Amino acid sequence: MADSENPWSVPVVVAQIPETGLHRDIVANAGERRMLAELAGLRELTSADASLDLALMRGGRVHVTGRVRGRVGQTCVVTLEPVENDVDEAIDLIFAPPEQIPTLAHLIEEAASSDAAVADPPEPIMDGSIDLGRIATDALFLGIDPYPRKPGAVFDLPAIPPDPEDHPFAALKALKPKTGSPKRKKPGKG
């Protein structure tokens, strides 16, 4: 169910996935894109779509693979001008019934102690379904450039020579007695 925290919701009931697997192409509509842009702090999200394949595995697990693509409108961190970027992220996740998660996570932790490549722990299957829209949203957000720049935009520091009087000890110099001025008496001595 779509809401402000999960505006692009496309649930698939695991029990309805055929033995041969399932392919889904999903596209976020204008309202979903508007809410996603707001959630991600984007100027706009002009497109968002995903192509996903679901394959059943032993033990009620599901392997989800595919890609999510989108076009995001952001603000250049150098020029503050609008800039658009394309996002194209691969998706490769395993989902498992919640009761299997602790055991599978423990097996992955054990494998991490060896030199072998280690997979991520599985995601839980919630209420018997997997939300493809949420998967696509998470991958899309991970692919957004946090520091977007217009092509050719370069941040140059101002070419102002440093002021020799502007340094961390400049305030102490003002406290130093000037040459030729009478020395201050120390307290307690007359």
Nearest CA-CA partner of 128 in 98, 93, 160: 98
Q: What pLDDT, on a 0 to 100 scale, did the predictor assign at position 23?
A: 98
Mean pLDDT by 10 residues, the chain (190 residues): 82 96 97 96 96 95 97 92 95 91 62 58 92 97 92 70 67 68 58
Nearest CA-CA partner of 24 in 135, 144, 142, 143: 135
In the chain, what are the domain boundaries?
11-142
Q: What is the gyration radius of the CA atoms in the chain, in angstroms? A: 29
Cβ atoms of 63 and 94 within 8 Å: the answer is yes
Reported pTM: 0.73
Q: What pLDDT, on a 0 to 100 scale, did the predictor assign at position 109?
A: 58
Q: What pLDDT, on a 0 to 100 scale, did the predictor assign at position 190?
A: 52
Q: Distance of alpha carbon 49 from its chain centroid, rounded? A: 18
Q: What pLDDT, on a 0 to 100 scale, did the predictor assign at position 32?
A: 97
Q: What pLDDT, on a 0 to 100 scale, did the predictor assign at position 134?
A: 97
